[in-house]
Structure 1
Amino acid sequence: MGIHDIIEGKKQWRAHMARVKALPPDYQIVYKEMQRYFFKVGPVALADGSLLTGVVDFFEEGVAAGKGVLELIGNDVAAFSDDLIKDSPTYADIYQERISTKPGTAEE
C-alpha cells in the first residue's frame, strides 16, 4: 500500500462520514452504534468498505421514504447488525480456527 492509496482511502472515508453526518440524528446514532459493533466484532467484509457503505445507502433510502430508523431495522439494533454479518467470517473466527489446530502442527 503506497502513500497514494492511503490518501485516497482517507478521502473516501471522509466522504463516507460526510454522508453519515447528513443523516437525521436518530439515523446517525444507530449508524455509530452499528459501526462500533462491527469494529469490535471484526467481520472480514468490513475491510473492503462495502458493509458500512451499504448501511449508509440503506439509511439514505429510508430517509428519502420518510421512515424512522427503527421502522427500517426494528427495535433490536444488535440483531439487525448480526443479521448483516451472519455469513461473513470474523477475525475472531479466523483466530479461533488457528488456535484450535492440534498442538505441534504448523499451518503455513
Structure 2
Amino acid sequence: MGIQDIIEGKKQWRAHTARVKALPADYRIVYKEMQKYLFKVGPVDLPDGPLLPGIVDFFEEGVAAGKGVLELIGSDVAAFCDGLIQDTRTYADVYQESISAQPGTADK
C-alpha cells in the first residue's frame, strides 16, 4: 500500500463521514451504534468493503422517503446488522479457524 492509497483512503473516509453527518440526528445515532457493533463483530472486509457506504445509501433513501430510521431497520439494531453480515466472513470465523487448526500447522 503506497502513500497515494493511504491518501485516497482518507479522502474516501472523510467523504463518507460527511454523508453520515448530513443525516438527521436519529439516523446518525443508529448509524453510529451499527458502526460500533459491526467493528466489534468484524466482517473482515468492513473498512474497505461496501457495507458502511451501503448503509448510508439505504439511510439516505429512507430520509428521502420520509421514513423514520426504526421503520427501516426495526427496533433490534444488532439483529439487523447480523442479517447484513450473515454470509460474510468475520473475525470470529478467522479466530475459530485458528483455534481449530491442528497444533503445529498454523499458517505462517
TM norm structure 1: 0.94
Contact 2:98–2:106 at 8 Å: present in 1 too?
no
Give the Å deviation of 1:105. 2.7
Correspondence for 1:54: 54
Q: What amino acid maps onto 1:50 in structure 2?
A: P
Correspondence for 2:90: 90
Correspondence for 2:102: 102
Give the Å deviation of 1:107. 3.7
> Structure 1 residue runs of 4+, over 6 Å off?
none
User: Percent sequence identity over matched residues?
Assistant: 79
Q: What amino acid maps onto 1:23 in structure 2?
A: L
Q: 1:27-70 CA distances to partner (integer Å, 9 max, x unpaired)?
A: 00000000001111110231323000000000000000000000
Correspondence for 2:13: 13
CA distance in 1, matches of 2:2, 2:39: 24
Give the Å deviation of 1:104. 3.0
Structure 1: runs of 5 or more not aligned = none
Correspondence for 1:35: 35
Give the number of the structure whose residues are more often helix, by fraction: 1
Q: What amino acid maps onto 1:101 in structure 2?
A: A
RMSD, matched Cα: 1.1
CA distance in 1, matches of 2:82, 2:70: 16
TM norm structure 2: 0.94
CA distance in 2, matches of 1:22, 1:58: 14
Aligned residue-pair number: 108
Q: What amino acid maps onto 1:69 in structure 2?
A: V
CA distance in 1, matches of 2:26, 2:15: 20
